[in-house]
Amino acid sequence: MSPNANRTGGHRALRILSRILLFAISLIFTCLLVFLALEALPGDAATQRLGLQATPERVAELTQQYGLDKPVLYRFVLWCAHALQGDFGTVLASGLPVADAMVGPLARTGVIFAISLVLVIVVGTAGGIFAGLHGGKAADKIVSTLALAVVGTPEFVVGFFLILVFATQLGWFPAVSLLPVGSGSMFDKPIIMVLPIVAISLIGACTLVRPVRAVVERENQTLHVESARLSGLPERRVIVKNLLPGIIAPVAQSAASVVPYLIGGTVIIESLFSFPGLGTLLVNAVLNREPDLLMACSAVVIAVSLAAFWIADGLGRGRSREIEA
């Protein structure tokens, strides 16, 4: 590429290494913030665990057993060390390991989230391209305004309207995502996934429409697209051959940056449908006061959000270097 290609290669390795390091530091720092916030409430885990059976002796005993008499930073390092070995503590109500309680919900959320993400990218990009190609015309205004209206509506409101239409009125899908009694696997009753996936996808796609639309509108006015169009090529060919290649990278970046929002939306939508996933588990961890469970679920959400941000940021940096080159 350039005369100093060797140096660039060395730089790239260093750059990737430093970005991985930055990701790790960000993750640890954010988890520490959560750890501190969970500790903020007066009344510690020992008192909470014992409940009405709390006697000063028992509390002191458990305090020592949990290491609560140690400084908070020490306990955080301990938590990290245990977490790296797959030990996230115990669920107070059942006494089961947190990891066991999380496996099922995490897998179920992973499935609906992955399906939703594909739909978000397909529908959001298509909507954005459609609006961008009609930049400023009525079709653009209708799509853009509808998308903004959905984005500006709380997730549970969007989900509620879906329930009202497709569950209560039409009766096509269940309003509550109950697992089948026998096997307990959602794949034996895939219908329970439909409305949550539709809701999450709708919210995500509408979020993606706007940035994609902006990219398409800009790309559509570039010289090489204009000249391809002026040279008499059919419109469809211009779009596929000249327009699309230029928007892939920025669209990928936008899609990655939508992921953290989508995770938040998933938590709320799951809660609305009582879908047995990570979001419902998180909400229940707060309502039932399960510190270990909440810490572990938060760490997962943070890790995925940061990873998405990291990817989006990396894609953005790659592009700006390309433009500079």
Q: Which residues bind other proteins (CB under 8 A)?
A: 26, 29-30, 34, 37-41, 136, 145, 148-149, 151-157, 160-161, 163-164, 167-168, 175, 260-261, 263-264, 267-268, 271-272, 282-283, 285-287, 289, 291, 294, 298, 301-302, 305-306, 308-309
Q: Rounded to an integer, what distance in angstroms lies between the CA atom of residue 200 and that of residue 181?
A: 25
Q: How far is the CB of 38 from other proteins (least distance, A)?
A: 5
- Minimum CB distance to other proteins smaller for 6 or for 169: 169
- Minimum CB distance to other proteins smaller for 58 or for 319: 319
Residue 241 tokens, joined: 């051959």
Residue 254 CB-density burial (10 A; 0-12 exposed, 13-18 middle, 19+ buried): buried
Backbone angles phi, psi at 40, to 5 degrees: -65, -30
Q: Are 114 and 193 in contact (CB under 8 A)?
A: no
Q: How far is the CB of 237 from other proteins (least distance, A)?
A: 26
Q: What stretch of H or E contains 149?
A: helix 138-151
Give the single-character DSSP code of 97. B
Q: Are 193 and 186 in contact (CB under 8 A)?
A: yes
Q: How far is the CB of 169 from other proteins (least distance, A)?
A: 9
Q: How far is the CB of 25 from other proteins (least distance, A)?
A: 10
Cα three-residue angle 302-79-104, rounded to 5 degrees: 55
- Minimum CB distance to other proteins smaller for 27 or for 54: 27
Q: How far is the CB of 8 from other proteins (least distance, A)?
A: 25
Q: Rounded to an integer, what distance in angstroms lies between the CA atom of residue 172 and that of residue 195?
A: 10
Q: How far is the CB of 295 from other proteins (least distance, A)?
A: 9
- Minimum CB distance to other proteins smaller for 28 or for 248: 28
Residue 216 tokens, joined: 């398409």
- Minimum CB distance to other proteins smaller for 47 or for 233: 47
Q: How far is the CB of 40 from other proteins (least distance, A)?
A: 4
- Minimum CB distance to other proteins smaller for 135 or for 246: 135
- Minimum CB distance to other proteins smaller for 155 or for 219: 155
Question: How many other CB atoms are there within 10 angstroms of residue 313's CB atom?
Answer: 17
Hey, CA dihedral for 44, 50, 54, 56, is it positive or negative?
Answer: negative
Residue 298 tokens, joined: 């938060």
Q: How far is the CB of 311 from other proteins (least distance, A)?
A: 11
* Virtual torsion, Cα 136, 140, 145, 148, nearest 10 deg: -100
- Minimum CB distance to other proteins smaller for 240 or for 286: 286
